[in-house]
Amino acid sequence: NLFNEIYKSSDLNVDESIDLFEQLNHIKMHANQRDAVTLAVNKGVSVITGGPGTGKTTIVKCMLQIFKSMRKSVKLLAPT
């Protein structure tokens, strides 16, 4: 469908993009964080939830870096 065509991740290697983010930020993301980023990049829409200190901000920063490299527009919403 049209939505999937717009947000198709093309030939981007998401794992390599996450690895680069980790290197640039001197961090190691948890497997669940990597999964969240991969899902968001591949599906185009994602809801990130979790308590304090669970890595939500890190996930969003990584997603933004990847979408920026893809020249994709991003909209973020937060309830607070």
Contact 75/46 with Cβ under 8 angstroms?
no
Check residue 4 and give its pLDDT: 58
| For the chain, domain boundaries | 2-69
The residue among 78 and 30 whose pLDDT is bigger is: 30
Longest dimension (CA), the chain: 38
pLDDT at 70 over 90: no
Query: Measured between alpha carbons, how far is 52 from 69 in angstroms, rounded to an integer?
Result: 28
Which tops the pLDDT comparison, 65 or 74?
A: 65
